[in-house]
Chains A and B, each alone.
Chain A
Amino acid sequence: MTLAKIERLDRLIEAGAQARQAEAGSLWRQSLRRMRRSPMAVTGASIVALFMLVAIFGPWIAPYDPTAQSWGDEVFLNRSIFPGPRPENWFGLDHLGRDMFSRMIVGARQTMLVGVVATLIGFAAGAVVGGVAAASGTFGGRWGQRIEAVIMRTVDVALAIPMLLLALSVAALLGPSLSTVMIAVGVAQIPIFARLLRGSMLAQAHSDYVLAAISLGVPKSRIVLSHIFPNSLGPVIVQATLVLATAIIEAAALSYLGLGNPDPGTPEWGTMLADAQRFLSGAPQLAIYPAVGIIVTALGFTLLGEAMRESLDPRLRRQS
């Protein structure tokens, strides 16, 4: 073999090693790389990022104070017709003469906050409930199985109640306020998360690496916490992004039904929707803006969740 050939071979080997290095990375990093190539994921992530930015910086972006009433120079000729979009108020004014554009921007924060916090509550509580059920059922012997049965039947009962009804009863119990909406929507999501995590953990509990860990005498608690649990999280995290969308819609529904934040000073899309109801025939734009806002946010989260599910699904995963 000539020297040049050897050199070329060496370079090839090096390139191969570098490619391998680039391909390396954890399961999550790999699926992240796959997601970057999917237009669905990019669209979803862009929408979510945009609304997050608006939610964070809303009060500074908004051109007017969302609570300031600027009827002043307008004539009260017909109280059911409000100024529509115009250069100084892009989205027009609402029934109290407040700038709709500013209200939409500032309202994003409340809506997103409710969605995220409610999902976190549902996720955390559901993970505990489902995790305890799966762990006690798999490793807890006869008593553990009973505990699991009790927990899961309770969850089944909760699942049978329509989610909005469940949220509504919790909200009615706690009285209308912002935290009520969060807790109510969050509690309504617990059964879904619990069931999903339990199913996912049971599937992992029968996998070979768990048997291998048992065969090495690794303690049960460690097997559950550091082997089964992290492997079961994938579908639950995906579910969380999908639940975020429904949580936002449900929070809006609760506000619409008058169980939301009663403070008129903090605009919120659901409340805005409820307020617009009275003027639907004369000024439908007042209902359309918050409705579109809710739909697009939910769509963004759904796209992102769907893309995450696809990139994490082992059946769709390409071997790399």
Chain B
Amino acid sequence: MALLEVEDLRVAFGGATAVDGVDFHVDQGQVVGLVGESGCGKSVTSLAVMGLLPRRGVTVTGKARFEGVDLLSLPRSDMRRRRGSDLAMVFQDPLSSLNPVVKIGTQITEVLERHRGLRGDAAVKEAEQLLDRVGIPDPRRRLGEYPHQLSGGMRQRVLIAIAVACAPRLLIADEPTTALDVTIQAQILELLKDLVDSEGTALLMITHDLGVVAGLCDEVNVLYSGRVVESAPARRLFAEPTHPYTVGLLNSIPRLDLPIHEPLKPIRGSIADVIRWKDGCAFAPRCDRVTEECVEGEPPLIGTAHAHRCVMAEEVA
């Protein structure tokens, strides 16, 4: 059984549909990528799974089964107990995700206290081990410091330490490397990979960086305009991308094996306005291979191991 199974998830902010029927699953110990450009619904999907969306003005429907239990219909108090212990999240901006006036140590121990009942010295000792585990030198001193005294990479390590403090079975990382520079990005990804391998934690990686996906993920779901347009094992996705959007994404990445001065091929236009939604393929207005068939109705997700949502798929491949 899948660890997390998201089924027909829909999130609407008033009239605007941000997530429009997303299905994917994460197996035990697996790294699954959720890829797409800004505004495609990646972050909203993760927030919905964690139950962190505001209740006012937001409608969430569908299912998000975690070990068979639907998280979306759980009472709020049960969900609160699960957050941090069963599933935890690492956010994009490590500086703003840490409380600026609370010491690092306190921010770690409060989670240990809440979910593992550790108090006093035991909690501090455990916090120290956690910092050591995520590769922070001199952890004892760091516990007494404030977030602004740490570098960006260190802060993200602290956030990861807090997230894995209670050994969650699923870790959701929402663009954990976006705010960091390239060398630090690589270190953080290495750390996440290491944690996943050694603890057997499943990781849902939300990113717009296909390089991150290539290096880390087992399975990839490409999101466009609130829908999964392609879903495949990472290797197959890079080897034979089927959906024109995925092809476009891959074409717009600079590559070392292309001749110098070869211009990148951007995807023309910008992401469709979620409010003015019509029938037909959401990508049709930007697609180079658009036909009449594309605007007649929403294409279904075809295939199992390597699924895609395009009527022209065979020709693209």
Contact = CB atoms under 8 A, between A and B. Distances in A.
A161 interface: no
A78 interface: no
Contact of A209 (B98, B110, B111, B115): B98
A111 B83 CA distance: 53
Nearest to A229: B101
B102 interface: yes
A217 B101 CA distance: 20
A230 B106 CA distance: 14
Interface in A67-105: none
For chain B, which range describes its interface: under 10, 10 to 19, 20 to 34, or 35 or more residues?
Answer: 20 to 34
B168 to A, nearest CB: 10
Given A27-B101, A216-B163, A231-B100, A211 B146 contact: no
Given A212-B159, A231-B100, A218 B93 contact: no
B84 A209 contact: no
B146 A26 contact: yes
A2 interface: no
Contact of A217 (B84, B97, B102, B149): B84
For chain A, which range describes its interface: under 10, 10 to 19, 20 to 34, or 35 or more residues?
Answer: 20 to 34
B91 A218 contact: no
Given A215-B50, A227-B99, A208 B84 contact: no
Contacts of A231: 99-101
B7 interface: no
Contacts of A49: none
Nearest to A216: B84
Nearest to A207: B96
A27 B148 contact: yes
Contacts of B159: 212
B88 interface: yes
Interface of A: 24, 26-27, 207-209, 211-219, 222, 226-227, 230-231
17 contacts: A207-B96, A208-B96, A212-B159, A212-B162, A215-B50, A215-B52, A215-B88, A216-B84, A216-B114, A216-B162, A216-B163, A217-B85, A217-B114, A217-B115, A218-B84, A218-B114, A227-B102
